[in-house]
Amino acid sequence: MNTIKKFIKEWLLTFSMKSSLLSSKKLERFAFTFVSLGAVITCIVYEVVEDKLTAMETTILITPLLICAGYNLAQTEKSKINIKKEESNEGA
């Protein structure tokens, strides 16, 4: 029960200006990726059930998802680099 309270507290802190263990950027990226993935999987399952899906259509459905994943990964790495630079500037 204590863990749930701590998680809820940290989650609520992400929407404030106070520091939190969770990052609002990461939550936003996760939500966007989760919704996109759900939409693509729903589309693929529907098309497979209807026997209408071709290899080209599969490629068209999956390519934007992979591009989004690459973009999210690049943004996360960029954020990590910026945080390390800020920490090194504060320590100097």
Structure tokens at 20: 């939190």
Question: Which residues have a Cβ under 8 Å from the Cβ of 24 and sit 6 or more positions away?
Answer: 14, 15
Q: Is 1 among the domain residues?
A: no
Q: Is 16 among the domain residues?
A: no
The count of structural domains within the chain is 1
Nearest to 43 by CA among 63, 72, 67, 26: 63
Q: Is 59 among the domain residues?
A: yes
Q: Is 85 among the domain residues?
A: yes
pTM passes above 0.75: no
pLDDT of amino acid 74: 87
- pLDDT means per 10 residues in the chain (92 residues)? 81 69 71 81 82 81 83 82 78 62
Q: Could you read off the pLDDT of 42-51 as tens digits, one per residue?
A: 887 888 788 7
Q: Is 54 among the domain residues?
A: yes
pLDDT of amino acid 15: 67
Question: Which residues have a Cβ under 8 Å from the Cβ of 25 and sit 6 or more positions away?
Answer: 75, 79
- DSSP code of residue 50: T
Q: Is 17 among the domain residues?
A: no
Domain of 70, in residue numbers: 23-91
Q: Is 11 among the domain residues?
A: no
Q: Is 14 among the domain residues?
A: no
pLDDT of amino acid 83: 75
